[in-house]
Structure 1
Amino acid sequence: MTGARSVTVHTLDHGPVTIPEPVWCAGHPDLPAEYRDDVHHTGPAHVVDYDGQALLTAELVAFPFGRHPVPPSLYVEITVPGVTLDPPGLEGLAAVLTEAAAELQRLALRLAVLRAGGVW
């Protein structure tokens, strides 16, 4: 993690834990303490909207202390609102879904570069 700085996170089971924080991490706000297994890094969220609602959210995460540590990965949440659409509405939804797929492909490439030692 080149360029990483250290951050201390307070945990319920291990007290203060100092960990390297990757440059892509959005930080660790002073939240109530959590268990060390749950300590994680998160990057800024990438959101694809449809009709004013988040259709897809993708966020870079890493869980260095989990029972099964998770290296930098993408947490993806897809929310498909129930709607009734006419032909132009269906075309609009298809365009947004295509945009969401393209965003996931871009993020997959960025993640591959990061995991190979590059930067996010």
Structure 2
Amino acid sequence: MTNDPTLAQPLCGARQPGWEHGPAIGRHRQPCILPAGHDDRHRDGLGQTWRPRTATVRTVDHGPVTVPCPPWCLGVHEDGLDLVDLAHEGPETALTVDTPLGGVQLLDAGLCQYPYSSNPDDREVKVAVLLGADWHQLDHDELRMLAAQLVVHAGRLRDLAAELRSVEGAL
């Protein structure tokens, strides 16, 4: 057993740009083993190092600003906003429902973060979910609650389908 103090700290876990997604198989997909929040270069367990991904964004209030991008960020940032409105966004997922009129997309969702927001709560990574016409930023617990509510609603839809079947049979 070792007394290495770094083992008690959370690890960075970032992967090399272009290799962020998928399992940590192959030498380019190995995560950074340095403590979370470290500065400068990342290092994996094989000793390979790389610089964090960055993006330069033209802001209204601070001019061009170069910001580090988290591993899950798509790296696309909107120019012409105030720095507090700069967002990191990850890939989106959505539910597509087949209808007689074609597919309808529901519940778009993806990781998001506003690292320079004046609201400290928005600086945390959340999942943005499109509910109705508005995007809602949900934390872990709120997202799990939404998922549980969707399961309950799916049960109600199954009940309605059974009721519809009995009404159709009675006609």
TM-score clears 0.5: yes
Identity %: 36
Residue 10 (structure 1) shift: 0.7
Task: Give, in angstroms, the shift of residue 12 of structure 1.
Answer: 0.4
Distance in structure 1 (CA, Å) of the matches to 2:86 and 2:58: 9
Deviations 1:58-104 (A, max 9, x none): 11101001111421100111349xxxxxxxxx43x98xxxxxxxxxx
> Secondary structure in 2 aligned to 1:44?
coil
Of 56, 67, 77, the match for 2:107: 56
Q: Any runs of at least 4 consecutive aligned residues in structure 1 with deviations exceeding 6 A, and if so which?
A: none
For the 8 Å contact 1:39–1:63, the answer to whether it is kept is yes
Question: What number of residue pairs does the alignment pair up?
Answer: 84
Q: What stretches of structure 1 of length at least 5 have no aligned partner? A: 81-89, 95-120
| Correspondent of 1:17 among 60, 65, 78 | 65
**Deviation at 1:19?**
0.8
Aligned match for 2:90, one of 43, 61, 70: 43
The amino acid of 2:116's aligned partner reads: F
Structure 2 distance, partners of 1:46, 1:14, is 32
Normalising by structure 1, we get a TM-score of 0.59
Give the corresponding residue for 2:130.
Answer: 77
* Larger RCO of the pair (alpha carbons < 8 Å, separation 6+): 1
Task: Return the match for 1:7 from 39, 42, 55.
Answer: 55
Please, which runs of 5 or more residues in structure 2 have no aligned partner? 1-11, 16-51, 134-156, 162-171
Aligned mates of 2:111, 2:128 — CA distance in 1: 6
- Contact 2:57 / 2:79 at 8 angstroms: preserved in 1? no
Would you tell me which structure has more strand in proportion to its own residues? Answer: 1
Per-residue deviation, 1:27: 1.6
Q: CA RMSD in A?
A: 2.7
Larger radius of gyration: 2
| Paired residues of 1:25 and 1:41 also in contact (CA < 8 A) | yes
TM-score (norm 2): 0.43
Give distance in 1, aligned partners of 2:55 and 2:83: 13
Q: 2:147: which partner in 1?
A: none
